[in-house]
Amino acid sequence: MKKNNAVSWLMNYGIILILVMLVIGFSFATANFMKFSTIFTILKQVSIIGIISVGMTYVMLTSGIDLSVGSIAGVSAVTAAILMLHGVPILPTCIIVLLIASIYGMISGFFITYFNIPALIVTLGVMTSLRGLAFIVTNGMPVFGFNDSFGNFANSTLGLIPYPVLLAAIVFIAAYVSLEKTALGRYFYGVGGNEEASRLSGVNVVRIKYFAYAISGFLSGLAGLVLLSRTNSGQPAAGMGYEMDAITAVVLAGVNIMGGEGRVGMVVIGVLIMGVLGTGMIMCNINDYVQQFVKGLVLISAVAFSAYSKRVRARMINK
């Protein structure tokens, strides 16, 4: 019994041990890693991926996947930069960009639900199209020269906490409440766990999937606005690779790639692992190619562990 409890704990919370081990390892590898400046740099960097990862969590809970999140973030940043460059005030710009980003997500949801096309194919197509759109409208050049005050958000703090980190925390709290404390949250889990049973019990499966992809698009657009505030220029290539970082963080957190299982609270740990790993490798002067190789291995390992832990849990239940 004690052995089963220990195994169950490791399956559920082993990711925390991984984070602690990474922090300790990089602390020995580089003397500057545990400085407050480094910690706040990591938190600011992961705030964008964290926001995107929350949207990815909603999608993956419904047994879907969204490869378009990085492109939505990039094209949202470009769209906001163009609107402000043409004199649109900051608040209307943000509202317009977030609405458009939600529509991008709903487009994916439409083709997935009504045409029964695999989410991987649909979101890959949306990812490629939106990235192309970002390059078309900018001619491949960065968009800058808009209101400088927009950059104040990313570079300001509330006490010691940077605003992007505070925003990411609010997003995580809102997601936790909606998924863990509401009937709507149970619908997301139900659709991913057993879609047919959810349909028979009266759940509007199509609407839930629409909502999941709309949330993913909205949060990707929000991340794009934060990214624009940090860089103060709309880069058509912005957000490339964000989808893989988000998927890795979510899978590391224990969200089942087949849907129906996982907790958004643990996604915070997955996001921090990606931030610590990336920053630690940079501080250790590990080149970009090796970093990409390591991140790929982490994703494969996370998926393999997810599948293995599911089999272990099934055996423990059947005993």
Report the distance separating Cα 131 and Cα 137, nearest Å. Answer: 10
Residue ranges making up the domain that contains 228: 2-318
When divided into structural domains, the chain yields a total of 1
Report the distance separating Cα 168 and Cα 228, nearest Å. Answer: 15
The predicted structure's pLDDT at residue 213: 97
pLDDT tops 90 at residue 135: yes
Residue 78 belongs to a domain with what CATH number?
1.10.3470
- Tens digits of per-residue pLDDT, 233-261? 899 999 998 999 999 999 988 888 888 88
- Tens digits of per-residue pLDDT, 168-210? 999 999 999 999 999 999 999 999 989 999 998 989 999 999 9
DSSP labels, 240-305: TTHHHHHHHHHHHTT--TTSS---HHHHHHHHHHHHHHHHHHHHTT--HHHHHHHHHHHHHHHHHH
- Tens digits of per-residue pLDDT, 67-122? 999 999 999 999 999 999 989 999 999 999 999 999 999 999 999 999 999 999 99
